[in-house]
Structure 1
Amino acid sequence: MGEPLNVGIIGCGAIVAQYLKTLPSLGSVNLKAVADLDPGRAQAVADSQEGVRALTVDELLADPGIDTVLNLTIPAAHAEVAARAIAAGKNVYGEKPLAANTTEAREVLALAEAAGVRVGCAPDTVLGTAIQTARHAIDDGLIGRPISATATMVTPGHERWHPNPDFYYVPGGGPLLDMGPYYVTALVTLLGPVTSVIGAASHTREQRTIGGGPRAGQTVPVTIDTHVTGVLVHESGALSTLVMSFDAVQTRSSNIEIHGERASMTVPDPNYFDGEVSVCALENRGNDREIGWEVLPASAGYIGAGRGYGLADMALTPPGEQHRANGELAYHVLDVMESLLQSAADGIAVRVRSTVERPREVPLTSLSDLASATSR
């Protein structure tokens, strides 16, 4: 604890820009090098960051000055790159999902345990003030016993903006595995682990047309379901209804709603770190009259957080303690999503094999607090 992580990034695609906005401000993370199968992309990132070198993947993994790999490759490569980094004795923090499937993900965790290194995984958006404030309110009993939740993400498809959207429409992609980690991780953070699921899925188009970039007008075949819905049964007894779609247009409802015996709560889009949490409670006067919606002040979470705070949290977690955006949580989330797809395919309820402890709540913490913790 207190020792900054010396980080090398593997994968310099579209998502790297979001990390580069945050990493330079995190005293617990030192970005040392970047690598990509396209050397030009790695060099462009290195040129934009003072003191950062562009290396090949092999050079980065062999560098003894790098102790942690930030794995920003495509989902199909997550497990392979993570395994190579672990074999090189390095911690791994990856983009979601942890791997393309639970078999690969469990192997990554087993390798890390044997090597004595840490595994972290996005999304770390749940560490921001939005989800953490909602969690704090639920744990304080503000809404009473949680009964149910809804989580909705609909979009016409990422091909409208992504220059190379092919991987979204093959096994390992789709709305659930792409966007589901944000929502399922939020639901597990708020309501606890999931014990069983029942799902259904469909798709409306056999191909997608790329909307911009050098491949604009090209078509991409669709080989997976692009609309997935289901019910998650939490260990606590709460029921969450999930809708993830690349087929619909938009939703006007709250991205996540939580309903309890005494109040209902709206929670912001878990793709972001902050936003307003609102509660509509019943008056406790025997007549159960609603008293209207009230915005809760931020009470927990990293203030003004961005992508990479999960890395900072990993750096600040003492040895022997589990950091919050950890591999076991990511594994359980992947297990829930894989079980939901299996349920949709088989038409039956499926038990989720894994479980996980909810990570510790994040106290209301500013960047200066993080910097102070790093210097201790």
Structure 2
Amino acid sequence: MEQKPVKVAMIGVGAISGIYLKNMTHTFREVDLVGVCDLIPERAEKGAAYVREEIEKGAQVRDPKIYKDMFEAFNDPEVEVVLNLTRPYEHFEVTKQALLHGKHVYSEKPLGVDMEEANQLISLAEEKGLQIGGAPDTFMGAGIQTARHLIDSGMIGNVVGASCAMVCHGHETWHPDPEFYYKRGGGPMLDMGPYYITALVQLLGEVKGVMGMTKKTFPQRLITSEPHRGETIQVDVDTWLSGNLEFTSGAIAQVFTTFDVHYTAQSRFEVYGTQGSLMVPDPNTFGGPVLLLRPEDAAAAPKTDPGLARHGVPDFYAGWKEMPLLYDYPENSRGLGLADMCKALRTGRDHRANYQQQRHVLEVMTSFSKSCESRAYLPMETKYTRTAPMELNPMHGILD
């Protein structure tokens, strides 16, 4: 029997909302967008106008309501799930109020800006019998799911460790409203770290403990993007965070995120095993490439010091083989986690981007600065079990 789509209200219609609106309108058939709301009414009107334009072109969705405020959405008896796309430091209050009004919540990352917020929200959800889920959902895409399959099937042997980095010079040169990236709830670890840490726990499992070193390099940032060009941002958060993760499996990973340096290749993500190495695609994307290097690939290489043999600009992935993507959703599929949660609400199964994962990832991310401050190894208090791998469904936009 065909299941009815889950009715969703979008709170926050800022920069990230565009791809959600596109995918909710054209891809995910188990999500029904009831209405939108934003503190700036023009943003909500622009979001609703986009959907209306797509309806005129043939999209089979409803014309969304425009709520005057979030409480009108929370009190709408039609709404089952609140999609929280507000700024990071607003996530807690919006999610809390939605839960108090009896709504399930799916939010952009992070779940909260610290563990106190996360634990309060989870306790409230459990008390009321409601579900919380949230981004990132990029780990559900074709790239990382393929990497997970290759690791789980033993293609690189037993995992020894991993190394990943997110390196850039911040968002003030291109983002229309970059200030919140340097305020509470921002910074490279809470902004971009969720993609990397979520991918790591999906690939390697539970994190046992963390050691970190962090700093704030620039106390101020000059905005060069419009419409705030020439304005100065006071930086309140660490913008250089690096550290080591010890996994319950015994693997060790190095993680590095920064908004402080000039660099062209923003993402680097590699997993190393006893029988090979794997290049994982940028975890802020859903697709590939996924590259594999095994001992037989290097068997014909000259037996010499690779440092002495190398001339010119090195090709770090020379000899690596690109692997075919084995799963669906290689394109920008933001909202996939929301659709999965909606399917879970109808079927009773668990959903993949659940709060158990969000909380564990948040504890890892917030432990880097704490470890630096205390000059100590911090064992994790939260537990983690990997969520189910994706399953192939012959109908794109319909979840298992």
TM-score (norm 2): 0.88
Displacement of 1:223: 1.9
Q: Give the alignment of 1:280-359 within 5 angstroms.
A: 280-283=293-296, 292-304=319-331, 306-317=333-344, 319-359=347-387
Asked whether 1:200 is paired with 2:213, we answer: yes
| Residue matched to 1:159 | 172
* Structure 1 Cα separation of the partners of residues 376 and 249 of structure 2: 22
* Matched residue type, 1:4: P
Distance 1:127 1:100 in 2: 23
- CA deviations over 1:232-280 (Å, ceiling 9, x no partner): 1111111110010000122548621000000000011000100111100
What is the TM-score when the length of structure 1 is the normalising length? Answer: 0.94
Q: Secondary structure at the match of 1:244?
A: strand
Question: Match for 1:52 among 56, 64, 70?
Answer: 64
Answer yes or no: is 1:224 the counterpart of 2:237: yes
- Of the three residues 46, 67, 77, the one matched with 1:64 is 77
Which residue matches 1:11?
Answer: 12
Of residues 19, 39, 42 in structure 2, which corresponds to 1:40? 42
Q: Deviations 1:333-357 (Å, cap 9, x if unpaired)?
A: 0010111220122221111110111
Which one of 222, 228, 231 corresponds to residue 215 of structure 1? 228
Equivalent residues in 2 for 1:115-194 (5 A)? 115-194=128-207
Q: Which amino acid aligns with 1:292?
A: G
| % identity of equivalent residues | 41
What's the CA shift for 1:302? 3.6
1:215 and 1:264 map into 2 onto residues whose CA distance is 44
Corresponding position of 1:22: 23
Amino acid corresponding to residue 41 of structure 1 in structure 2:
R
Query: Which has the greater radius of gyration?
Result: 2
Confirm whether residue 78 of structure 1 aligns to residue 91 of structure 2. Answer: yes
Give SS of 2:214's match. Answer: strand
Letter in 1 for 2:354: N
Across the aligned residues of Structure 1 and Structure 2, the Cα RMSD in angstroms comes to: 1.9
Per the alignment, in what secondary structure is the counterpart of residue 247 of structure 1?
Answer: coil
Query: Contact conserved, 1:199 with 1:230, CA < 8 A, in 2?
Result: yes
Relative to structure 1, is the Cα distance of residues 162 and 253 closer, same or farther in structure 2, using a 3 angstrom cutoff?
A: closer
Aligned length: 370
The answer on whether the counterparts of 2:89 and 2:185 sit within 8 Å (CA) in structure 1 is yes
Task: Check the 8 A contact 2:288/2:330 in 1, yes or no.
Answer: no
**Shift in Å, 1:301:** 4.9
Out of 259, 264, 273, which is 2:277 matched to? 264
- SS of the counterpart of 1:211? coil
Name the amino acid aligned to 2:256.
V
Q: Kindly tell me: are residues 240 and 2 of structure 1, through their superposed partners in 2, closer, same or farther at Cα, counting changes over 3 Å?
A: farther
Give the Cα–Cα distance (whole angstroms) in 1 for the partners of residues 202 and 250 of structure 2: 15
Secondary structure of residue in 2 paired with 1:89: coil
Whether the 8 Å CA contact 1:133–1:301 is kept in 2: the answer is no
Q: Which amino acid in the other structure matches residue 11 of structure 2?
A: I
Aligned residue identity for 1:294: K
1:87-126 CA distance string (max 9 Å, x none):
1111100000001111111111111112112111100000
Change (3 A) 1:97 1:128: same
SS in 1 for 2:51: coil
SS in 2 for 1:160: coil
